[in-house]
Structure 1
């Protein structure tokens, strides 16, 4: 059943690619949803891509995966049998949602970073009953679709959606009178950041929440590398399509001429630094034009597109403490695959 659903979502992304090119305006939000747009511009994208491809080794941020098609492909990944993080985190939320709500506090303002699809947040919204929900995501179309779906499911909920890049300094549409703030950062997206960057991001979140504010955050745990390697190299090739879609997006938005068939998806667990690495490997010597600039690739050269750090509970708590948080509680699944932490701003 899961394979069928994922395969169907994978096929549907072919239509989504055409929608990206044809409809940049996107759907009109529900009247119950206000929308704040701080989406990076084409100029921002051009600068970041050229800078990353000019480095040695070449590297691009995983946030660039999430155009509309990329977001739909990621949704398909979360349904794959090999990909344990999403269903495991949802399982933890289902079992301990009420305890988490007790920690975060009810009827407050809930900020969700990297909201993506609405699957995980629904359990938390039911338990928390926040006064205002502020989903934040870089994928504009996906954010609007998710916000509208939640407005229909929770008709009394005020939603103030923000399309923003939270990987750097970011603004949120918060009212000065909102003093009871909590945040939810699911999916172990914190693992996509280098530890120093993760610490800086947590510091920014702490500054937004203020003293005593609480953060509920998902963190993937260290485990057998065979489980990790399978999760990022699925048999259906959906993760490969997700990775390669990055080149398709650059072609469309920056007028580049990547031939996706000249690259392959490569993912592996790097034991020394406890992280999954995803790369796009060039299958031949070639020169690609991006935004008018020629970018040479040697055969076997890669673009490093994503890291996903895996932590022990103690190591993550140490990182959070360095960023100004104190750990209040941790929940895990029976197999210790994944963890959800409640952190409180301490200073």
Structure 2
């Protein structure tokens, strides 16, 4: 079958810039402390840099999750069963996806990603690998409500949310996303989700601040994207990358740190940053077993199986859609 077609659910202004990106950048630079959502890392350059990050020896999540998918493929497949449409949230290059698709014999594959060019290339590569599998790429922000292709509406569905991407969101946002996808995937659906565990702080910080500087380039690319797409004049050399563990919130935080006092404009709007001030660009929350199960239940999913014997610690959790009930 191959790639059937690519659906696009992105709103752009008359200059070709994502409306939500422009709004989030101005809102984030206007607030105190400054913060811009991590989803805006993933333009074409940022998506490619993230794939480089996943290959770093310090970045254990991809290695641990791939190990779980490989060693437990038969058990995962037996629990899920064949014939489901797999809907992958934030598919990126879909490097782990073939392991799942080869194991479970799906009816269709729907990768959802915000980076259109990257999505197109990875969908075509995967379709070539699985020529009988219908592939329906959807260019969209999976953190918002997404309309699924009509061709899979009648099929039972499996949401696939790897990489512990759920950790990029604070709890209330994560719960909202899980609830949105519970509604989108429908009754009888399943969700296979990657969850990173709390572990030694040194291991965590190395994973997000590698000595080769790839993660720093990934973080700093956000500044380059703002300059390119929004006519910014932010001097890249005035910023540096910082990754720190926040024990109170059980998360790694990434920041873009101002190395000096500076004034700059974005879209002609003036901003100021003092030396040492930061733009908070990403969170990566880590969860213990009870925390992860509580998060899923709050989002409308009931955990039914867990595979979590990876080293460093990581978990794959399979959950089923919780029946919607009216309040008593």
Of residues 203, 215, 219, the one that matches 1:239 is 215
Of residues 133, 146, 157, the one that matches 2:133 is 157
Of residues 7, 11, 21, the one that matches 1:45 is 21
**1:133 is paired with a residue of what secondary structure?**
strand
1:33 and 2:4 correspond: yes
Of residues 281, 291, 299, the one that matches 1:323 is 299
Q: CA deviation at 1:204?
A: 0.8
**2:61 is paired with a residue of what secondary structure?**
helix
**Map of 1:213-232 to 2, 5 A cutoff?**
213-232=189-208
Map of 1:19 onto structure 2: none
Map of 1:93 onto structure 2: 69
Q: Using the alignment, how far apart are the partners of 1:68 and 1:249 within structure 2? A: 10
Maintained 8 Å contact 1:57/1:303: yes
TM-score in terms of structure 1 length:
0.89
Q: CA deviation at 1:128?
A: 1.4
Map of 2:230 onto structure 1: 254
1:345 and 2:321 correspond: yes
5+ residue gaps in structure 1?
1-29
**Map of 1:76-155 to 2, 5 A cutoff?**
76-155=52-131
Maintained 8 Å contact 2:86/2:109: yes
Structure (1/2) with the larger helix percentage: 1
> Structure 1 pair 332/37, CA: closer, same or farther in 2 (3 Å)?
same
Q: CA deviation at 1:38?
A: 1.2
1:281 and 2:257 correspond: yes
| Deviation sequence 1:244-282 (CA, Å, 0-9, x none) | 000001111011011110000011111111000000000
5+ residue gaps in structure 2?
324-328
Map of 2:154 onto structure 1: 178
**Map of 1:16-31 to 2, 5 A cutoff?**
none
Q: Using the alignment, how far apart are the partners of 2:313 and 2:23 within structure 1? A: 38
1:166 and 2:137 correspond: no
TM-score in terms of structure 2 length:
0.94
**1:75 is paired with a residue of what secondary structure?**
helix
> Structure 1 pair 176/86, CA: closer, same or farther in 2 (3 Å)?
closer
| Deviation sequence 1:70-118 (CA, Å, 0-9, x none) | 0010000001111000011000000112222222221221100010012
* RMSD of aligned residue pairs (Cα, Å): 1.4
Maintained 8 Å contact 1:325/1:343: yes
Q: Using the alignment, how far apart are the partners of 2:320 and 2:36 within structure 1? A: 32
1:269 and 2:245 correspond: yes
> Structure 1 pair 177/234, CA: closer, same or farther in 2 (3 Å)?
closer
**Map of 1:291-302 to 2, 5 A cutoff?**
291-302=267-278
Map of 1:75 onto structure 2: 51
Of residues 20, 27, 31, the one that matches 1:55 is 31
